[in-house]
């Protein structure tokens, strides 16, 4: 348990608690931690709110097992579900829960996935090219590099990694695999470094954006997120709140669109009276995307890129 605590420092924990607190003070309140990870946020919420029931979702069986041990002292107040977070409604239905008071998303790759080299997420550590968050899922980064066309490799590097050298990297990968398959992260990093012009190599590690793109493709992170945020909002009761922490612009753009779409009136222009069904469903609780404080960034470097958004449901959809 000490190891779990050591490798997982929850990001913006006090801010998450302060924003969700008004929704969680209701007797019998339910919070969904849609990205449970190692359970750092979950443990803090369960400790702070003694009557709270927590539903923890995660696609990573290894993380679920570790979080289960960490949260065992809270007994039957904890319900863990192995699923991807766009399956939030199915998970709640299995538990007989109709609506919840809070939902927390802490997106991106978890501390454990980054720190355990064998998972293949970190370009700084040699490992098999895996990158699966759910180790029962069939698709790996190795398979993508071996089987995707040059066009598709270029597309994911450009769209998911925002990589300017997507064409060059995709072409080099296809050339290399014709001679020898790429099976380890060190092999891919070496190839990318050789393919990067010296003038650009000083602008950051050449593997960073490619590894991000591969991870997103392996786990279908963006398409899952596009389904998950509306599903989570739909699960909130009136007065319930949602917090989403994103770590890169592609995620944050999806979250921003989803929250903003439901925070404005849908009344047609020129309508003299706003009908109830046109009123906003959400009230945004944060102006723009909030960032971690300098103090937290210094204490927890993984908080540096975070973008924090939150909203409250103020009207039911029907």
What is the rounded CA–CA span in Å between residue 157 and residue 211? 9
55 three-state secondary structure:
strand
116 phi, psi to nearest 5 deg:
-100, 105
291 phi, psi to nearest 5 deg:
-115, 160
302 three-state secondary structure:
helix
Count CB atoms within 10 A of the CB of residue 178: 8
91 touches 57 (CB < 8 A)? yes
55 touches 90 (CB < 8 A)? no
Count CB atoms within 10 A of the CB of residue 314: 15
**Residue positions in the annotated binding site?**
39-41, 58, 85, 106, 113
105 phi, psi to nearest 5 deg:
-115, 125
Cα distance between the two ends of the chain: 45
3 three-state secondary structure:
helix
**Residue positions in the annotated binding site for S-adenosyl-L-methionine?**
39-41, 58, 85, 106, 113
């Amino acid at each position: 348990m000490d190891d779990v605590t050591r490798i997982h420092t929850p990001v913006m924990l006090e801010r998450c608690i302060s924003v969700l607190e008004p929704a969680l003070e209701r007797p019998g309140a339910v919070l969904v931690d849609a990205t449970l990870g190692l359970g750092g946020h979950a443990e803090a919420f369960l400790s702070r709110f003694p009557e709270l029931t927590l539903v923890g979702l995660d696609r990573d069986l290894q993380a679920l097992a570790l979080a289960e041990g960490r949260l065992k002292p809270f007994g039957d107040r904890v319900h863990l579900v192995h699923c991807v977070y766009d399956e939030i409604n199915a998970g709640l239905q299995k538990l007989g829960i109709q609506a919840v008071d809070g939902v927390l998303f802490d997106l991106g790759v978890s501390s454990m996935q980054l720190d355990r080299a064998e998972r293949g997420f970190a370009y700084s550590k040699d490992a098999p090219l895996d990158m699966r968050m759910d180790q029962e899922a069939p698709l790996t980064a190795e398979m993508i590099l071996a089987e995707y066309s040059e066009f598709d490799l270029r597309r994911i590097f450009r769209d998911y990694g925002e990589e300017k050298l997507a064409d060059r990297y995709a072409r080099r990968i296809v050339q290399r695999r014709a001679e020898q398959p790429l099976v380890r992260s060190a092999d891919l990093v070496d190839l990318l470094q050789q393919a990067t012009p010296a003038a650009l190599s000083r602008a950051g590690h050449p593997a960073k954006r490619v590894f991000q793109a591969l991870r997103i493709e392996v786990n279908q992170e963006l398409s899952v997120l596009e389904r998950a945020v509306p599903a989570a909002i739909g699960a909130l009761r009136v007065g319930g709140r949602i917090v989403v922490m994103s770590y890169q612009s592609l995620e944050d753009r999806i979250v921003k669109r989803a929250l903003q779409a439901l925070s404005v009136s849908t009344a047609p222009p020129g309508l003299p009276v706003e009908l109830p069904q046109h009123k906003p469903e959400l009230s945004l609780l944060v102006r723009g995307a909030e960032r971690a404080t300098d103090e937290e960034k210094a204490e927890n470097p993984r908080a540096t890129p975070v973008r924090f958004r939150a909203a409250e449901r103020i009207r039911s959809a029907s």
